[in-house]
Amino acid sequence: MPLRQRLLGFAFASGDLLIEMQPDGAVTFALGAGPTSNMTPASLHGRPFDSLIVHRPEAIGTALSALKPGGRLAPIEILMACGEGRVRRAALAAFVLPELAPSISCSIRYEGPAFTLASSQEDARPAELIDAEAFLARARTVLAGGEPANLAVAFVDVAGLKASGAESLRAAARIEAALQSASVGGAASRLTDDRYAVLRDQNDTRDLLGEVGELARDEGLDVDVTGSIADLSGASPVNALRALRFAIQSCLVEGSDSRPDEAFDAALARTLREADQFRTMVRGRDFALHYQPIVALDSGAVHHFEALARFGWGSPGHTIQMAEELALIEGFDLAVAEKAIQRLRQPGSGTLKIAVNVSGASLAGDAYVQQLLRMTAAVPEERRRLIVEVTESAALSDIEAANRRLGALRQAGIKLCIDDFGSGAASFDYVHGLSVDTVKIDGKFVKGLGTDARARTLIAHLVEMCASLKLTTIAEFVETQDQADILRDLGVDYGQGWLFGKAEPEPRTVIAVATPARRRGAVEAWG
């Protein structure tokens, strides 16, 4: 019998499919049986090998490409993609024959028939942990169910796990499965190469660190398993989630030397201090409003002013983001509206018009709208000098309900604007779902006007769409006269930015810019 046939017999005794690939993953040879009858070995030629792997393709590709001549990859479990949502379990082994280097010879042995990876069969696939953002989202869902009385976050460090090779891959898969099974609501994440975070029930007494160590040692790895616990029971859900986000960010930025439980404790203490400070500031109205002009681009006349909050500490953006995260924004939005209305009532302000921001979170209930209408009930004419800008920083969860609430403001004579239009997917939902008067085009598009033709095209399309809906447009971050001219030519109605003036403690109706204005210093009506 020829040696070639004999060697093939030995090869197929250990595998069903033989593949040769290059270090870059391209399949250059395939022989044997494909994972399904529709996937022949010939159909695999030229395909990247990672396209055939469903679970952890990057990690497996890294282990294969690290093989040196004479190097061997012991069998590891994989899921092969079979098309149309079907997969097949298999064991992959590899060897680099020195005479064929750098080509990699692979043997694949199937373990059971192909099956459809439906939701009901997800426990049949190897565990794959979620990333940090998905972990926070999952934790938010769990915490939303009530007070985190019995919850904690376990941070598990497995030093030595990030080494490449089959043992590391197998150990990581088994460890991830164990952590996932020990989590609440599937909230388990691999934050770095050797650090995990798991949302746990404090009544669960299993020795998670000991179990992780045993699993690694079973695969022949010498690892050092340590851990820490962040207790969530002493905080409200919103405070716990915010502190948890800071702790996880410290893991991602500072690496494995940081103590996430200490970062959590420090972040929780800081959160409580900031929340108390913010509540005190709102109660005492201990903040100021500055006013930035919005100017008609065709005439140069000041149309209205946006009221912007200024605090005695930190940046306004960070403070407002914190208020939204901690569910404190509604009281602040009302305090801003109250101050703006007081400014409208000062002597000599009969033509002044002011826009105030409202977070989408404040429109989740009726209180904001009811309070704003109550504030202006004594002098209903004031409502025609107000505009409410709906920010997208906290997206509306129920657009239909928000439109019903905003409709009450609009019916009373208060104008409505969508802020930062175009900055997120929700913008177009807002335009179609909310009855508003104006949209404010996000400043990032304006910044690129001079050099980016796509920005100009996008603004032109936005203006065209708004015109068809009978909506006026405002462009923010206008800093140069060239930008103002381009925006005017594109049909944008109003501009806001340092070209026309920064936010100042008092509204300034006379601006010193060389716009091709027919009138300067006038204040237009809403129109």
Q: Quick one: which H or E segment has residue 427?
A: helix 426-433
pLDDT at position 273: 87
pLDDT at 305: 97
The residue assigned the tokens 């605090």 is 311
Residue 255's domain spans which residues? 127-274
Q: Within 354-480, where are the H helices?
A: 367-375, 399-411, 426-433, 443-447, 453-468
What integer pLDDT is reported at residue 111 of this predicted model?
79
Q: Supply the pLDDT for residue 62.
A: 80
What is residue 56's predicted lDDT score, i.e. its pLDDT? Answer: 72
Q: Are residues 59 and 9 in the same domain?
A: yes
- Say if residue 44 is in the same domain as residue 141: no
Instruction: State how far the alpha carbon of 375 is from the alpha carbons of 176, 279, 349, in Å.
Output: 56, 21, 18
Residues 167 and 306 occupy one common structural domain: no
Angle between helices 260-283 and 237-254 (to 10 degrees): 130
CATH number at residue 24: 3.30.450.20
* Structural domain ending residue among the three candidates 122, 154, 172: 122
Q: What confidence score (pLDDT) does residue 524 get?
A: 44
Q: Note whether residue 22 is domain-resident.
A: yes
In a domain, 356, yes or no: yes
Measured over all CA atoms, what is the biggest interatomic distance in the chain, rounded to whole angstroms?
108
Kindly state whether residues 359 and 413 are assigned to the same domain: yes
Transcribe 176-194 into DSSP letters: HHHHHHHSSTT-EEE-SSS
Residue 312 is predicted with a pLDDT of: 76
Domain membership flag for residue 77? yes
Q: Are residues 470 and 364 in the same domain?
A: yes
Q: Strand, coil or helix: what is 495?
A: strand
CATH of the domain at 367: 3.20.20.450
- What pLDDT is stored for residue 20 in this prediction? 94
Show which of 96, 122, 148 is a domain's final residue: 122
Residues 306, 437, single domain; the answer is yes
Residue position matching structure tokens 């709102």: 282
Instruction: State the pLDDT at residue 526.
Output: 42
pLDDT in tens, the chain (527 residues): 577 777 777 778 878 999 999 988 899 999 998 888 888 888 898 888 888 887 777 778 888 888 889 888 878 778 888 877 778 888 888 999 989 999 999 999 887 777 776 443 444 444 567 888 888 888 888 887 765 678 899 999 988 877 656 677 778 878 888 888 888 888 889 888 888 999 998 888 888 898 888 888 877 888 889 998 888 887 888 888 888 888 888 888 755 566 888 888 888 888 888 888 899 999 999 999 999 999 999 999 999 999 999 987 667 888 888 888 888 899 999 999 999 999 999 998 888 999 999 998 898 889 999 999 999 999 999 999 999 999 855 557 788 888 999 999 999 999 999 988 876 656 677 787 889 999 999 888 898 787 788 889 989 999 999 999 999 999 999 999 999 999 999 999 999 999 999 999 999 877 765 444 433 444 444 43
Does residue 477 belong to any structural domain of this protein? yes
Using CA of residue 496, residue 497, residue 503, residue 509, what is the dihedral sign?
Answer: negative
- Does 454 reside within a domain? yes
Whether residue 316 lies inside any domain: the answer is yes
Number of domains in the chain: 3
Q: What gap in Å lies between CA 71 and CA 90, rounded to an integer?
A: 21
Q: Is the peptide bond before 316 cis (omega within 30 degrees of 0)?
A: no
CA 143/CA 145 separation, integer angstroms = 5
Q: Which residues are paired to 494 by β-bridges?
A: 296, 474
Domain assignment present for residue 160? The answer is: yes
How far is Cα 171 from Cα 221, in angstroms, rounded to an integer? 8
> For residue 58, what are the CA distances in angstroms to 30, 43, 48, 55, 306?
21, 22, 12, 9, 50
Q: Mutual orientation of helices 329-344 and 260-283 as an angle, nearest 10°?
A: 30
**In a shared domain, residues 475 and 490:** yes
